[in-house]
Chains A and B, each alone.
Chain A
Amino acid sequence: MSERTRNLLSITAIVLLTVILVVVVASSPTEADRVEHLGTQIKCPVCQGESIANSPAPMARDMMALVSERVAEGASDTEIIDELLSAYSGAVLLDPPASGATLVLWVAPLVALATGASIIVWWRRHPGSDASPEAEPQSRSRSRTLVGGLVLAGAFAVVVIVAGFFLQDREGPAAGVANLEGQDLSEVSNETLEAVVAANLDDPQISGMRLALAERYYEIGDYSSAFPHYLAVAEAAGASNPEVVTALVRLGWMAWDGNGEVETAIGLFDQALIIDSDSTTAMFLKGQVLWCGAGERNAAADLFSDVLADPELSEDSKALVGSSFEAVTRGEPCA
């Protein structure tokens, strides 16, 4: 067989075979399982990069069941993907959409291929000057190199700074569960404080929060809500002395003011004074109760004068205690 015949036969064979092959392949029915296909585009949110079609994780299977159902209901691919996007955001997709921010990903590879190919072709067509060691400018003066280096470093620094401006911070995990101390409680509701207290009964530092809560109830006159908290603070092992004293004093006043129990109130004030003998509040309130409840004016007057003797007493307090003192010594009825 001559070379020429061989060539002709070969070309014919190749062309024929290719055509047949292409026809055969193209005509094969592509049974695209739509659910499967969709599934390969959706990332399993509890796995490491697997699609919900390929992952055996229960969550993935549940999501596939959802996709199946939607397909059976007649939803379009876009609708199903959108439904998941609205719940999970774009991070749940494995295939970046060919639009918007991810259009780049579709275009860049083609651009790269085209650019590379054209550079190669162009480079071959325009060889340029023959590069040889002699062609290099003979001696770069040291200062030129130095300047060049500095300019380069400067350019890099500029790039870094500019890029830095445009960058968004990524959220890191916050510093754990909120610290109870040092929180600004002014905007926190009573319910929140109740919840915090209830959830942290074992925490020795909870007394501060309890007290704050109790004070709120006290201030609006809700003695019954305030009572258990004051009691808990007074009995708490971890409460500080000032906290215990405040609690006891309030308890005492509530016992008198709310229930008229003189003995109990006095007892509580005494307990407070054992812990802090200088507590002017305890002394004053004890005096009030003695005066108004027990009628013991002298004891009350003594207490009031002790309070007035305190050099750190504020002007308002002085006025208040002073007037009480005046009233009790003059034998007036209690106010």
Chain B
Amino acid sequence: MLAFLGTAGLVAALTGASLLVWRGIAASRSDARADLVGPANLMLVGSVVAMGAMEIALLTDNFSLAYVANHHASTTPFPFDVATAWAALEGSILLWGLVLAVFTWAVARRYGRSPDQLGAGALAVIGGVGIFFFGLMLTVANPFEVCVEAAQNRCLTSSAWPFAAVDAPLEGPGPNPLLQNHLMMAIHPPLLYIGYVGLAVPFAYAISALALKVPGPEWLRRSHRSTVVAWSFLTLGIVLGGWWAYEVLSWGGYWAWDPVENASLMPWLVATAFLHSAIVQQRRNMLQAWNFVLVISAFSLTILGTFLTRSGTINSVHSFTQSAIGPALLGFLVLVLVGSFTLFSTRAHLVASSQRIESFVSREGTFLINNLLLSVYAFVVLIGTTYPLILEAFTGTQVGVGEPFFNRLAVPLSFLLLLVMGFGPVTPWGSADVGIIWKRTRTPLILGLSAGLVTAFTVTRIGWVILAITLGTFVTGAIVGLLLEQTGRRMSKLEVGRWEATKDLVVGDAPFWAGQLSHIGVVLIAVGIAFSANLGAHVEVEMTPGESVEFAGFTITYESPFQEQHPNKTTRGARLSVNRGARFITTMTPAANFFGDSAGISTPDVLNRPDGDLYATVVDFDSESATLAFDTSPLIGLLWLGGVTAAAGGFASIAVRKRERKAGQERQKADV
């Protein structure tokens, strides 16, 4: 029954998508207004029904579905059984489809009253993407296959026919244990997917604009909301993914330049560039070619990421199991890239902007530099991730490309970006007067350098940390300075208090100031990374029960060992009490799994504190003693705070309603 429901939902969604394509293409070429809202609704209803069927199956332990039989166990605790819907391959595509349907519905709502060829074209393109994903689910990645031959706790053979004779196992293996020990499993994938899928909207508008030969900022304007939403969720998803890795995996790291992590960073970098560059086109009708290239690349990179995780071509922590979906995704990727760029080249004349940048010393100029830096950054990550594959394919030689390579390039690029982040917002549009820029940046520069010096004499002399503090202070100072300057002007012009002026200013140009909030978030991330990566302390000690060790201002006492027996392994951990001076803080219980006397995966314990975390890991256990490793991550909390702040800025930029903003803008005159 559920299989039928789910399959029916998918069929409905596919039908909706197909109708969107059919009618959308027709409507984009004529003056008639087609009913595109109907198909969009159908797509949404279909995918909701499908996901609903899957969730019901999971929550009621219905093992007749092969997906449930292979990935779920009745003992899986509550939020994780819901999350099992996207824990494995077919389910993750189901989530993708659902998110796509929601975005499509949102886009269809904005389908204009009057003949709206651009909108129709965009809906047709999104429908095309939908056809691919729902088609995938009805062919090679079917989440609703029914189990027709069961083994003890999984399904051996399944059938796509919903009414096949069911032979369901009594129990399933449950999700991978690594995916069960943190709530983030339920949250991180949906956030990421919203980010990935959301980029399909500006992509669709871009293709529509190219196909219909409609240059100009219209397509940007209409897709702006989706772009920002996607970017914000992508930011959140990546940061929370890092947080999850940090809390759960025993290496205390939040980023490993793992190929799949890179696959999420690349679209983020390009989407960030696109977000910024779009502003230029909307304001000054420049950088149009850049914008097309950036949005096509961003969407393509999300497909590339989806491909890399599921195709078995790259070895990664994130890999799903290999299946026939690999070739399908690759084919789709090729279609998207080749089709888009070919279309782009045929419209090359149109795309070449009519406006030229007059001077690099201008807001547009800084955005251009921003584009360049972010694109090179994305390019570096791309070649680092794919070069081993390419080299091996052509020569058979195997090389490794990991953290040292990426850090070598990413760190300087990041600092350059921070620098531009400081200068950009204070640089006026059009050929700017260097004097104004100088006036706005001289004090922040002095402040930044001073802060750097203070850090050098009080905290550390490590160059990266000082650079982060210097640039971070500079950026923050520049933002605050601009705020003060402009509120000051308002105060005198409109004769209002500081608070009133600030409110007015911020609401009046909400996207700009929300963006500055995001920049502050980035500053926090930079400082958090710099401190935790360079100033962390590490110690490894062998301790017997009752022994204490002094580390980073903490007194850590090994109270006692504990042990949990499982059929195939023993979990052994150490109970530690952590004090600061005389004050008791908490108990930590790092543990590790032992198979015989061989150590397997260890689960660390983390003490989160505002000034930095304390990390405890079990390295080895003896009959009398335990070998424990302790690490500190100073100011790592800033990373998570910064990430959330950056995303919040994104949401804030579209949260302020149009009416309020217009009102604010009315009062905003002669602001540079």
Contacts and interface: CB of A to CB of B under 8 A. Distances in A.
Interface in A45-84: 48-51, 54-56, 58, 61
Contacts of A105: 383-384, 387, 401, 405
A91 interface: yes
Contact of B400 (A18, A94, A109, A166): A94
Contacts of A190: none
Interface string B387-422: 100011111111111111100110000000000000
A124 B251 contact: no
A48 B394 contact: no
Contacts of A58: 598-599, 620
A91 to B, nearest CB: 4
B317 A127 contact: no
Contacts of B342: 152
B461 A24 contact: yes
B466 interface: yes
Interface stretch (B29-37, B143-151, B444-452, B561-569): B444-452
Contact of A21 (B258, B372, B466, B619): B466
B462 A96 contact: no
A309 to B, nearest CB: 54
A101 B399 contact: yes
Interface stretch (A131-139, A181-189, A191-199, A266-274): A131-139
A48 B387 CA distance: 18
Interface stretch (A110-118, A255-263, A289-297): A110-118
Contacts of B450: 17
Taking each of B259, B349, B353, B450, which has the highest tally of chain A beta carbons within 10 Å of its own beta carbon? Answer: B349
A51 B400 CA distance: 11
Contacts of A96: 387, 399-401, 405
A89 interface: yes
Contacts of A49: 256-259, 316-317, 402
Contact of B453 (A20, A43, A127): A20
A25 B468 CA distance: 13
Interface string A16-45: 011011001101100000000000110100
B253 A54 contact: yes
A90 B398 contact: yes
B318 to A, nearest CB: 9
A104 B443 CA distance: 42
A330 interface: no
Contact of B250 (A48, A56, A93, A135): A56
A54 B538 CA distance: 11
A14 B380 contact: no
B461 A116 contact: no
Contacts of A170: 392-393
Interface of B is mostly: helix
B354 A14 contact: no
Interface string A283-327: 000000000000000000000000000000000000000000000
Given A116-B372, A116-B376, A131-B353, A91 B400 contact: yes
A109 B461 contact: no
B161 interface: no
A124 B357 contact: yes
B252 to A, nearest CB: 8
A133 B349 CA distance: 7
Interface in B208-224: 213, 215
A21 B462 contact: no
Contacts of B400: 43, 90-96
Contacts of B442: 7, 10-11, 14
Nearest to B629: A56
Contacts of A95: 400-402, 404-405, 408
A165 B399 CA distance: 22
A117 B398 contact: no
A120 B376 CA distance: 13
A108 to B, nearest CB: 6
A168 B396 contact: yes
Nearest to A140: B346
B256 to A, nearest CB: 5
A113 B387 CA distance: 18
Nearest to B465: A25
A168 B395 contact: yes
A128 B354 CA distance: 10
A219 interface: no
B375 interface: yes
A108 B383 contact: yes
A148 B647 CA distance: 45
A10 B443 contact: yes
B139 interface: no
A13 interface: yes
B398 A56 contact: no
A131 B398 contact: no
Contact of A56 (B315, B461, B617): B617
Contacts of A108: 379, 383
B294 interface: no
Contacts of A61: 619
Contact of A48 (B315, B350, B353, B383): B315
Taking each of B259, B449, B457, which has the highest tally of chain A beta carbons within 10 Å of its own beta carbon? Answer: B449
Interface string B367-384: 010001001100110011
Top 6 nearest A-B pairs (CB, nearest first) are A94-B402, A28-B461, A17-B449, A95-B404, A131-B352, A10-B442
20 contacts: A14-B445, A17-B446, A28-B461, A41-B404, A50-B256, A55-B251, A56-B617, A56-B629, A58-B598, A94-B405, A95-B408, A96-B387, A96-B400, A101-B395, A102-B401, A105-B405, A116-B372, A131-B353, A135-B349, A136-B349
Interface of A: 7, 10-11, 13-14, 17-18, 20-21, 24-25, 27-28, 40-41, 43, 48-51, 54-56, 58, 61, 89-96, 101-102, 104-105, 108-109, 112-113, 116-117, 120, 124, 127-128, 130-133, 135-136, 152, 156, 166-168, 170
Interface of B: 213, 215, 250-251, 253, 256-259, 315-317, 338, 342, 349-354, 356-357, 360, 368, 372, 375-376, 379-380, 383-384, 387, 391-405, 408-409, 438, 442-443, 445-446, 449-450, 452-453, 456-457, 461-463, 466, 470, 598-599, 602, 617, 619-620, 629
